[in-house]
Structure 1
């Protein structure tokens, strides 16, 4: 597989960061801090992940397939969270331990946007900066601040890369639901696995000791 260049030319399918329509969704906005890792760091990580141009094309192919299925996908993912106490606790009220329905609903809107952003990612500075923002929002540095909730202090890091498997495994039937060939479904699924793992690695930076990332 041919590896992607350090900065891939922009590929557009109309799935681009849209901004303020979703509360707390700040992709591309000035309030997002610059990531402490560079585009060269991103290219090196993609190289190690064998993430190349073919994967970009497969993600783009998945965009129109998934665009009108985000609610159904999130029903599956939220069902998994609801049935997994180890995950549901991170949406619980810090005092009562009960799930915070408003918090779950707010995150769900951004989660839907994340599906489209993953399929249409440009891998530019704005994308890179927002990965850092997402990592901050999972860590104790910024968790709860976006939605003004009183919940657990952070998402324990071990669950972030672990979620690559349930997210991408349950996505596969949705990729296959609109008549794509078996080979195309496999390629799209493989690209999603790499992309989700790539993002989980970038989100880890706020959890890692300075100089160790």
Structure 2
């Protein structure tokens, strides 16, 4: 995906958001150590980005199908009366696809850290629905952000194995993806926590 294409994704403002994460680079480094993230994981994620680049639509078909099969999850893309908001689903999808590639390719630097805060806030009462101008159920409880780590990790293995890499390479990519997703979920939990415990 080119830079020009990225700027055309509705609501995707990586590097341009005014949101600033209160998490410091030193705290991020400690989190990276806590999830056992290494330089080998960074290399494996870059490989995963190449593997996944032309598969993001298929990945999202699986993830959207998972959400659609669970009314308690679909509720967060629906009106308070329970009617799915197709425009909302359609606008989120390209951002979700870009998030896959950003997870694999973006350096975990200040801009990335700030955008994790923005993503987090878009799940809370502070910013849920604001980016897309919708009236969906809000907010998304933290428990679902944490629980979603498993389905978006477990379902990724087949996609990572789709390009003929060795079992060892697939495992390395899968473990790196798991660590990166867990890291982000930890960062997304910050606005939900009391400040002195975040």
TM-score range, shorter chain: over 0.9
Q: Secondary structure at the match of 1:32?
A: coil
Q: Could you say which residue in structure 2 is the equivalent of 1:117?
A: 102
Alignment of 1:5-84 (within 5 A): 19-29=6-16, 31-84=17-70
- 1:208 correspondence with 2:184: no
Q: Could you say which residue in structure 2 is the equivalent of 1:177?
A: 162
Contact kept, 8 Å, 1:60 with 1:119, in 2: the verdict is yes
The structure with more helix, counted as a fraction of residues: 2
Alignment of 1:58-207 (within 5 A): 58-94=44-80, 96-207=81-192
The Cα of 1:32 is off from its aligned counterpart by 2.8
The Cα of 1:84 is off from its aligned counterpart by 1.1
- CA distance in structure 2 between the partners assigned to 1:69 and 1:153 by the alignment: 30
Q: Secondary structure at the match of 1:74?
A: helix
Q: How many residues align?
A: 198
- CA distance in structure 2 between the partners assigned to 1:74 and 1:130 by the alignment: 21
Gaps of 5+ in 2: none
Q: Secondary structure at the match of 1:106?
A: helix
The Cα of 1:206 is off from its aligned counterpart by 0.9
Q: Secondary structure at the match of 1:89?
A: helix
Q: Secondary structure at the match of 2:156?
A: helix
Contact kept, 8 Å, 1:17 with 1:117, in 2: the verdict is no
Name the Cα RMSD after superposition. Answer: 1.5
- CA distance in structure 1 between the partners assigned to 2:110 and 2:29 by the alignment: 12
Gaps of 5+ in 1: 1-13
- Pick closer, same or farther for the CA change 1:129–1:210 going to 2, 3 Å: same
The Cα of 1:211 is off from its aligned counterpart by 1.0
- TM-score, length basis structure 2: 0.96
Contact kept, 8 Å, 1:15 with 1:120, in 2: the verdict is no
- CA distance in structure 2 between the partners assigned to 1:15 and 1:34 by the alignment: 25
- TM-score, length basis structure 1: 0.90
Q: Secondary structure at the match of 1:54?
A: helix
- Pick closer, same or farther for the CA change 1:18–1:198 going to 2, 3 Å: farther
